């Protein structure tokens, strides 16, 4: 396949990434509210937790979409994977999001899962920065 035909794919990647970052901020806001309400022993409004879960599901979907775009695009272009450290950064982001979701499902029954959830999400912030930087660097190679 010729190079420019792949630009649209990376354009979807860039937009999905912007959306992911917005969703991440939404999770940070709703998660912090959940924490604030809980630590002040007020009753938890159900919609707050619901929005947090909804956004969480959206983040998992977006990150899996980005992973498939990255793998399909790279295979279509080079026929193999592992052209830069963007691969490692991408796999790290996906692992952290899935682990964070796994920890979230345990919060109700195991109290330590709550702090694990928060630590994983802090690491996720750094991983997001790394994947955006390396992704942007690699996109330059496709631009005319």
Residues 6+ apart with CB under 8 A from 119: none
**Is residue 118 at the binding interface for ligand HEM, with CB under 6 A as the rule?**
yes
**Is residue 73 at the binding interface for ligand HEM, with CB under 6 A as the rule?**
yes
Nearest to 103 by CA among 114, 92, 91: 114
Min dist CB 113 to ligand HEM, Å, is 9
How far the first Cα of the chain sits from its last, in Å, is 16
- Select the residue whose beta carbon is closest to ligand HEM and give its number: 70
Min dist CB 97 to ligand HEM, Å, is 5
Nearest to 130 by CA among 99, 94, 102, 77: 94
Cα–Cα dist 6/135, whole Å:
14
Cα–Cα dist 126/14, whole Å:
18
Cα–Cα dist 97/65, whole Å:
13
Applying CB under 6 A, among 21, 79, 139, 144 the residue interacting with ligand HEM is 139
Subset of 75-114 contacting ligand HEM (CB under 6 A): 77, 81-84, 86-87, 90, 93-94, 97, 100-101, 104, 107, 114
Binding-site ranges for ligand HEM (CB under 6 A):
10, 13-14, 17, 24, 27-28, 31-32, 34-35, 38, 49, 52-53, 56, 59-60, 63, 66-67, 70-71, 73-74, 77, 81-84, 86-87, 90, 93-94, 97, 100-101, 104, 107, 114, 117-118, 121, 124, 131-132, 135-136, 138-139, 142
């Amino acid at each position: 396949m010729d190079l420019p035909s792949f630009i649209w794919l990376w354009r979807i990647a860039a937009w999905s990434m912007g959306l992911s970052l917005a969703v991440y901020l939404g999770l940070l806001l709703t998660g912090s509210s959940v924490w604030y309400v809980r630590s002040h022993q007020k009753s938890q409004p159900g919609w707050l937790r619901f929005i947090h879960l909804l956004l969480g599901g959206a983040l998992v979907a977006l990150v899996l979409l980005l992973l498939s775009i990255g793998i399909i695009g790279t295979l279509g272009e080079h026929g193999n994977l592992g052209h830069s450290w963007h691969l490692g950064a991408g796999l790290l982001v996906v692992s952290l999001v899935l682990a964070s979701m796994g920890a979230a499902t345990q919060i109700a029954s195991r109290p330590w899962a709550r702090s694990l959830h928060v630590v994983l999400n802090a690491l996720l912030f750094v991983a997001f920065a790394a994947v955006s930087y390396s992704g942007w660097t690699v996109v330059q190679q496709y631009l005319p």
